[in-house]
Homo-oligomer: A and B are copies of this chain.
Amino acid sequence: MLIHWKPEKESHIPIFRQIVSHFEEGIKGFEYRTYSRLPSQRELSKLFDVNRSTIALAMDELKALGLIVTNGKGGTRVAELPDGVRSFNWSDYVEGSMYYPNREIIQTINNLDFDDHIIKLSSGAAMPESFKIAKLDQLIKEAAQTTLTLDYTEPKGLLSLRAVLSEHLSSIGIKAKPEEILVVNGALQAIQLIALGLLQTGSTAFIEKPSYLYSLNILKSFRMNKKGIACDVHGIKPSALYKAISRNHHSMLYTIPNYQNPTGRVMPIDRRKKILEVCEELNIPILEDDVYRELWIDEPPPPPLKSMERGGQVLYIGSVSKHLSPGLRIGWIVGPESVMNRLSDIKMQVDYGASTLSQIVTELWFKSDYRETALNEIRSKLKNRRNAAIAALDKYMADLGTWKKPKGGFYIWIDLNKQISEAQLFQKAIDAGVLIYPGHVYGTDEGSAIRISYSSESEERIEEGIRILSNIIRNL
């Protein structure tokens, strides 16, 4: 038996306890094989540099636990354990692997999202009513009738879907042939594919500060960096961007120009042009995440950066998750054909494509003659919710923080007047039945802030949630 371990002398855990735990884990975790002989107590005492009596105590405990047996001659061996007692030690594998886990707070939110009792001022998904408004059930039935088989699709996704997406994109000023479009499992996968297929160790993603991207560990897992750029009410400051970018050939600007997550901000057309200019001059590509575009409330947003670029420098992301259904898991990336070839090849390697059924339903949605009517109904419902949220904030939180009324999307960013513990606020809100995102998740490093969303609760529950929240903040 080879032992590559020593007790920690400085630990608050007694040495004898450490030794017992070590052998218990090693034996149950298959590391020490059945019947293998343990070193003698004298050898162990020397190996661990502890008293014989400590070893004897530990061995007695291990024997009592049935993990080791001694024979007449004083030899000690690993006992044969009944089935089910041993279990393979996976923690070693998890700890050594490359991908960072989600931050604990994100894991907590991911799980609480399925608790019906909690008021979710956290959701980033389409309003649940969208399903009915968009008559998704009919589209699914239609998909069943028009389909004869559900095979894998072409590497870039169903050609007929990409053809309607091409038409749709032209309506917002983006000229893209079906070959320049790649269907993905939602915008998040687009970011993943770009990290794997276009960036490299040491690459930097320049992002808005605060930004959704701060909440993700994708880049960190591949040893890529995020650098927040200062923003004003119109979004990224061109001067700050210019200053931050040192001709770094493998970096990229990531921006959400419409109803930004988490600030709700819209980048006006002049700022878009300016940002494009800076990126053209500094030769840095742009990833434009435009998943909230359809969710305008007061007026349609400015045209995409992608529609104003000159040299294929912008990759554009769209999705149905925010205005139709996140459960379809359908998004798209648009860019030069060679880049889409690269990313679709990687997509084929990671999961062989998106659900064909979801793609067919999405195609039918884009072809439906009531699409614009349905979107207007969705926008009007969303407007009521936004107004309810703003009214409740005015009513309950006017003395506690400041915010801007968003012109679309889901999010209101609240800068709190007093410095509080966001962690405490988050936890107390959960205890009181309200789920929110604390600001630090999005990379703020001074002041206290929270993000609330009005997408998935009724007007009454939005008001109730904000009322509860205001009480907690006031009492912190």
Residues in A lying within 8 Å of B, measured CB to CB: 28-31, 33, 83-84, 86-88, 90-94, 96-99, 101-102, 107, 110-111, 113-114, 125, 128, 131-132, 136-138, 140-141, 143-145, 147-155, 184-186, 188-189, 192, 196-201, 216-218, 221-222, 249-250, 280-281, 283, 285, 310-313, 325-330, 336, 338-339, 342, 345-346, 348-358, 361
Residue of B91, B98, B355 near A338 (CB, 8 A) is B91
Contact A357 B361 (CB under 8 A): yes
Q: Which residues of B contact A336 (CB under 8 A)?
A: 87-88, 90
Known contacts A326-B151, A328-B356, A342 near B101 by CB under 8 Å: yes
Q: Which residues of B contact A150 (CB under 8 A)?
A: 131, 136, 325-328
Q: Which residues of B contact A358 (CB under 8 A)?
A: 355, 357-358
Known contacts A101-B342, A141-B141, A196-B98, A88 near B311 by CB under 8 Å: yes
Closest to A335 in B: B90
Residue of B88, B147, B329 near A353 (CB, 8 A) is B329
Q: Which residues of B contact A30 (CB under 8 A)?
A: 280, 283, 311, 313
Closest to A221 in B: B196
CB distance from A326 to the nearest CB of B (A): 5
Contact A138 B144 (CB under 8 A): yes
Q: Which residues of B contact A346 (CB under 8 A)?
A: 99, 101
Known contacts A97-B197, A155-B110, A189-B350, A327 near B339 by CB under 8 Å: no
Known contacts A141-B141, A345-B107, A361-B357, A152 near B327 by CB under 8 Å: yes
Contact B87 A312 (CB under 8 A): yes
Instruction: List 16 interface pairs A-B (beta carbons < 8 Å), by A numbering.
Output: A90-B342, A99-B197, A99-B349, A125-B151, A131-B147, A149-B325, A151-B325, A151-B327, A188-B352, A189-B351, A192-B350, A326-B356, A330-B355, A350-B350, A355-B358, A357-B357
Give the distance in Å from the alpha carbon of A128 to the alpha carbon of B30 in the complex: 45
Q: Which residues of B contact A98 (CB under 8 A)?
A: 196, 199-201, 222
Contact A329 B345 (CB under 8 A): no
Q: Which residues of B contact A84 (CB under 8 A)?
A: 310
Closest to A250 in B: B96
Give the distance in Å from the alpha carbon of A149 to the alpha carbon of B123 in the complex: 15
Closest to A309 in B: B88
Contact A356 B339 (CB under 8 A): no
Q: Which residues of B contact A222 (CB under 8 A)?
A: 98
Q: Which residues of B contact A125 (CB under 8 A)?
A: 151-152
Contact B196 A97 (CB under 8 A): yes
Give the distance in Å from the alpha carbon of A356 to the alpha carbon of B29 in the complex: 36
Contact A345 B128 (CB under 8 A): no
Closest to A189 in B: B351
Known contacts A137-B144, A281-B33, A327-B357, A86 near B192 by CB under 8 Å: no
CB distance from A145 to the nearest CB of B (A): 7
Contact B149 A140 (CB under 8 A): no
CB distance from A84 to the nearest CB of B (A): 7
Contact A97 B200 (CB under 8 A): yes
Contact A217 B327 (CB under 8 A): no
Contact B192 A351 (CB under 8 A): yes
Q: Which residues of B contact A281 (CB under 8 A)?
A: 33
Contact A31 B93 (CB under 8 A): no
Give the distance in Å from the alpha carbon of A352 to the alpha carbon of B189 in the complex: 8
Give the distance in Å from the alpha carbon of A212 to the alpha carbon of B197 in the complex: 23
Closest to A354 in B: B329
Give the distance in Å from the alpha carbon of A289 to the alpha carbon of B433 in the complex: 42
Give the distance in Å from the alpha carbon of A348 to the alpha carbon of B108 in the complex: 12
Closest to A138 in B: B144
Residue of B145, B188, B349 near A217 (CB, 8 A) is B349
Closest to A190 in B: B351
Q: Which residues of B contact A197 (CB under 8 A)?
A: 94, 97, 99
CB distance from A320 to the nearest CB of B (A): 10
Give the distance in Å from the alpha carbon of A161 to the alpha carbon of B155 in the complex: 28
A102, A138, A140, A351, most chain B CB atoms within 10 A = A351
Residue of B329, B351, B352, B355 near A352 (CB, 8 A) is B329
